Amino acid sequence: MENFLLLGICFGLGLFFRRIPQFPETTPKVLNGFILFISLPSLVLYHVHELEISVSAIMPTSMPWLVFGFAILFFYTFYKLKLMTFPTMVCLVLTAGLGNTSFVGFPLLETYLGKESLGYGILSDQLGTFMVLSFPGIILASIAMDGKWDFLTLVRRVLGFAPIYALLLAILTRQWEYPSALKIVLLRLGDTLTPLALVSVGYMLDLRTIAGHGRYLILGLGFKLVLAPILVYFVYSPLKDDTLLFQTILFESAMAPMVTSTVITIEKNISPHLASLMLGIGIPVSFFTTYCLHLLIKGNYI
């Protein structure tokens, strides 16, 4: 409950800050810079270093890659049919193709499936969602921002993504135990990600832009909250005998758009208003759709 309360307060603060002069138009850019260079690397350094990897990790970590690939094919089809621009396509791939598998995902998993599901959830988030964002996600965002495919430019963009270095450092230092003081510092810095990101998105959120993005918003959220879970259900149905694993993968696929990918989309100016709508409206709507999914599972309909 406290996570949902935090979500509402931070969105509200973002909306409020937009209306007072002490917070200029560059506020989201400053907040996003702190998130990408401090908050997210701190979380990666802590969680990837502490993560216990096993054979069972393959299935939950593969789901985000599947959904992201499906998102590219789905939205690229609309782009080729000239039903949307390339930046709009990339915005929808980055927001609808990546899920909020941690901040929203973990509390919902614990609520509906119990604490036992969190291990699979962490694997899905850290080795799945984050990896997709760090490599194909950043590459796609860079192409949309630069307007062309240039290998050296893409390499520089990926290497300019600070969390990549945190990921490599976390992997290289896995054999050594972090000092307890360092763990506390990393956790506290990492804890700033969600509040700052939600304030940033709240600042950017302008419901008046729905008129110009309505059909894309419906298409993006329809994919993220309905089509993606349906795809995952059929692909991973052979795992039904392992009930907890299967249900965790299914629930994680049904989460709202990812906060960090939305921040990157806004920061790189790739249809930023649509991105903020996808997250700002997608999170509350996902509470209803995941509850419906819970009822279907509880009733043994799936």
Query: What is the CATH number for 17?
Result: 1.20.1530.20
Q: Specify the number of domains making up the chain.
A: 1
Q: What is the mean pLDDT of residues 16-24?
A: 89
pLDDT digits (tens, 9 = 90+) for 30-81: 888 898 889 888 888 887 787 666 666 688 999 999 999 999 999 999 999 9
Our measurement of the distance from residue 74's CA atom to the centroid of its chain's CA atoms, rounded to an integer in Å, reads 18
Return the pLDDT at 270: 93
Is residue 151 pLDDT above 70, yes or no? no
Query: Which amino acid is located at 228 in the chain?
Result: A
Q: pLDDT band for position 94 (50/70/90)?
A: very high
Tell me which residue range forms the domain holding 100.
1-299
Residue 62 phi, psi dihedral angles, 5° rounding: -80, -25
Our measurement of the distance from residue 161's CA atom to the centroid of its chain's CA atoms, rounded to an integer in Å, reads 16
CA distance 36 to 235: 33
> Over pLDDT 70: what percentage of the chain?
92
Q: What is the mean pLDDT of residues 249-255?
A: 95
Q: What average pLDDT is seen over the chain? A: 86
pLDDT digits (tens, 9 = 90+) for 184-196: 999 899 888 778 8
pLDDT digits (tens, 9 = 90+) for 189-235: 988 877 887 788 778 777 776 777 889 999 999 999 999 999 999 99
CA distance 126 to 47: 8
Return the pLDDT at 249: 95
Lowest mean pLDDT, pick from 11-20, 93-102, 289-298: 11-20
Return the pLDDT at 165: 85
Please answer whether residues 153 and 159 qualify as being in contact, where contact means their C-beta atoms are separated by less than 8 angstroms: no
Please answer whether residues 80 and 115 qualify as being in contact, where contact means their C-beta atoms are separated by less than 8 angstroms: no
Residue 258 phi, psi dihedral angles, 5° rounding: -70, 135
Please answer whether residues 129 and 98 qualify as being in contact, where contact means their C-beta atoms are separated by less than 8 angstroms: yes
Report the range out of 15-19, 77-81, 285-289, 293-297 with the highest average pLDDT: 77-81
Contacts of 237 (CB under 8 A, 6+ apart): 246
Q: pLDDT band for position 158 (50/70/90)?
A: low
Return the pLDDT at 175: 85
Return the pLDDT at 275: 92
Is residue 3 pLDDT above 70, yes or no? no
Lowest mean pLDDT, pick from 79-93, 117-131, 173-187: 117-131
